[in-house]
Structure 1
Amino acid sequence: MSSDHRPLASLARELLGHAARPFPEHLDRLVLDGRIIGYLSRRRALALRELLPGLVADHPLGAPTRWSWHAKDLSAGERTQALQRAAEELRSQGLITGWRDERFSYWPEDVASLEAPELFRLERSAFRALGLRSHAVHINAFTPDGRMWCSRRSFSKPTDPGMLDNLAAGGLPSDETPRTCAIRELWEEAGVPAPLAERLTPAGQIVTAQLAGEDWVHERIFIFQLALPESFVPSNQDGEVAEFMLLDEQQLVSHLQQGHFTHEAACTVAQGCVER
């Protein structure tokens, strides 16, 4: 980056200040053992009530309503089975879209380490539909002169098609660590070989949250940074990237200001610039 960081630094602080937007008051609350775990629309809540044993409204239907799932005595595996069956039926009703056949793990927000026992696993698209907090990794990659490699999401992606993203990013599947996920995503999305990807370094965490249509999208993002040699040129392997762009500071600021990046990527880029 250039020696004058004031414009980018100011923009980065603004973006990070709005990373997690206020919880939407109009959405119903999904409660497990006394704690709110998700936010969902009324139509999804009413459908889920018929599909998930032990789910009841805490009070007569108002706006919003707390739906308590009495599953304290269930094991993590039993919760997973019950939720997955319900999610599959919601999908058949058209209330969950973008099905991925990939499961995320859910941990309470006060759990500091992902080595703690998970409460359940669930299809990743259901995390969005039920407003559950998921986990993801994003990698900011810089050239020796400080330019940043970014990608444009495929126009066929189910979420945020055609928008700008980090060099590589992805949701954290069950049974994967943030680091192994980052290394895998670097190869699949940008063709970064493992010996080079192994050089990535942690660059903090952020929590993002926003309303996207009917979905409350809530993520804890593990950020990594990677120094790439001048000669390296990314090459997509999985068909999920339309193109790559190497941006200097002025170009990066312009794209951020115009809202060309996804919300999560913009916040991750901001954090990466602050870390540098």
Structure 2
Amino acid sequence: MPEGSLKSNLDLVNECDCFPYIQVSPSAYLSAVSTLYHLRCSTHAQPEVTLGYLLPSVALTLQNIPGWEVSSSDADPRTITLVHGEDEPSRSAIVAATTSAMKATGHFKVLEKWRNELYPVVSPDRTLLFSIERSASPLFGIVSHGVHMTCYTRSKQADGKDDYKIWVARRARSKQTYGGMLDNAVAGGTATGEVFFESIIRESAEEASLSPDLVRTKAKPCGTVSYFYIRDRRAGGETGLMQPEVQFLYDLELDDSVVPKPSDDEVEGFFLWSIEEVQESMRRGEWKPNCAIVMLDWLVRHGILTAENEPKYSEIVSRIHRRLEFPSL
């Protein structure tokens, strides 16, 4: 798409859910998968299950690290397998030692944003297999999980219809990832062992100065979005890394007395925008890609984006609820 041109809603979906679909283009899907390594774990009940995709440039750095086995280059599929560790703590320890060694080399720029947060990697029955440092998760292509919350106000128009306004956050321009782009009012990753609702309560206080009592009382869970993102330069670090994600969504209707305020250096400010202003900023491509997906879901759920006003409605709805090829929570 030419720089500066307006984006359709489907363009926004394509930007975030950009890994090929085998149903749509088998040749593109098989071409992409054939270049990747499959992450596996030999010490659980289903060792043939793929947990994520790694670029060859990542997989081959693991071939001489204890605990890992890399298949030959002509294997089908090519695999990188965690072969040691009979339980979750021992597997997590191997992964922690591996990612720390990778960071120490300074080779992977994505690890410069080391978070000291652990993400879960699970089996198909949602058993925790191991945990991995958050900043290393895209190197291993595993499914990451997070929470996003849309905060909004609602009033009645003269015709009795709801008039919504959305609280929009602008990310700090100094952030290494998607600096200066628009964001949902509250969003963040969910660590190993953390309950999703507790995660949104914590993030609400940290990012938007919303009281835990308010969020605990009024925030409403409203489903998930899922997509398969391939990182570009705006994400920081290496491009082309695989990032499948599931985001657990919440809505919070606020009255005029509650104004979100930044409480850390991650958010530059909050703005209360009309639906038209939000949609126009999305068309201009100002939103962080996955946050635009969350916003599209909100517009669908509130009857603003419909089959009558969006010709690609069914494709958009199905694409923002992608069935991922890897285990997730």
Q: TM-score range by the shorter chain?
A: 0.7 to 0.9
Q: Is residue 105 of structure 2 the alignment partner of residue 93 of structure 1?
A: yes
Cα separation, 2, equivalents of 1:27 and 1:49: 15
- Equivalent residue for 1:79, pick from 72, 91, 94: 91
Per-residue deviation, 1:125: 0.6
Distance across 2 between alignment mates of 1:268 and 1:157 = 21
TM-superposed deviation, 1:18: 6.9
SS of the residue corresponding to residue 144 of structure 1 reads strand
Note if 1:124 corresponds to 2:134.
yes
SS at match of 1:35: coil
Deviations 1:156-203 (A, max 9, x none): 323211111100100001221110000111111011112211210011
- The alpha-carbon deviation at position 34 of structure 1 amounts to 0.9
1:28 maps to which residue? Answer: 37
* Partners of 1:266 and 1:47 in 2: CA distance: 34
C-alpha RMSD of matched pairs (Å): 2.3
Instruction: Report the Cα distance in structure 2 between the residues aligned to 1:131 and 1:210, rounded to whole angstroms.
Output: 10
TM-score by length of 2: 0.73
Quote how far apart the aligned CAs of 1:92 are: 1.3
Partner of 1:5: none
Partner in structure 1 of residue 220 of structure 2: 201
SS in 2 for 1:220: strand
Structure 1 unmatched ranges of 5 or more:
1-10
Separation in 2, partners of 1:62, 1:160: 37
Aligned residue in 1 for 2:267: 241
* Aligned residue in 2 for 1:66: 79
How big is the shift at 1:214? 3.3
| Contact 2:119–2:134 (CA under 8 A) maintained in structure 1 | yes
Aligned counterpart, 2:69: 55
Query: SS at 1:260's partner residue?
Result: coil
Aligned positions of 1:202-241 closer than 5 A: 202-212=221-231, 213-241=239-267
- Residues 116-140 of structure 1 show CA distances to partners (whole Å, capped at 9, x for unaligned) of 4311111101111211111000001
Question: Does the CA contact (< 8 Å) of 1:134 and 1:218 recur in 2?
Answer: yes
Are the counterparts in 1 of residues 224 and 249 from structure 2 also a CA contact under 8 Å?
A: yes
- AA of the residue aligned to 2:192: S
Q: In the aligned structure 2, how far is the partner of 1:17 from the partner of 1:189? A: 28
Q: Shift of the alpha carbon at 1:255?
A: 1.3
| Residues paired across the two proteins, number | 260
Give the match for residue 160 of structure 1.
178
Whether contact under 8 Å (1:12, 1:271) holds in the other structure is: no
For the Cα contact (< 8 Å) 1:154–1:161, is it kept in 2?
yes
**Structure 1 equivalent of residue 290 of structure 2:** 264
Which whole-Å CA distance do the structure 2 matches of 1:211 and 1:19 have between them?
8
Q: Within 2, Cα distance between the matches of 1:63 and 1:155? A: 44
Structure 2 unpaired stretches of 5+: 1-7, 21-31, 42-46, 156-163, 232-238, 303-329
Normalising by structure 1, report the TM-score.
Answer: 0.86
Task: Work out whether residues 151 and 253 of structure 2, in 8 Å CA contact, stay in contact via their aligned partners in 1.
Answer: yes
In our comparison, the structure showing a higher alpha carbon Rg is 2
| Offset, 1:16 | 5.3
Letter in structure 2 aligned against 1:117: T
| Structure 1 letter corresponding to 2:297 | Q
User: For residue 51 of structure 1, what is the amino acid of its counterpart?
Assistant: I
Q: Which residue of 2 aligns with 1:3?
A: none
C-alpha distance 77-106 of structure 1, shift in aligned 2 (>3 A): same
User: SS of 1:22's equivalent?
Assistant: coil
Q: Give the aligned residue type for 1:274.
A: V
Q: Which moved more, 1:137-146 or 1:35-44?
A: 35-44
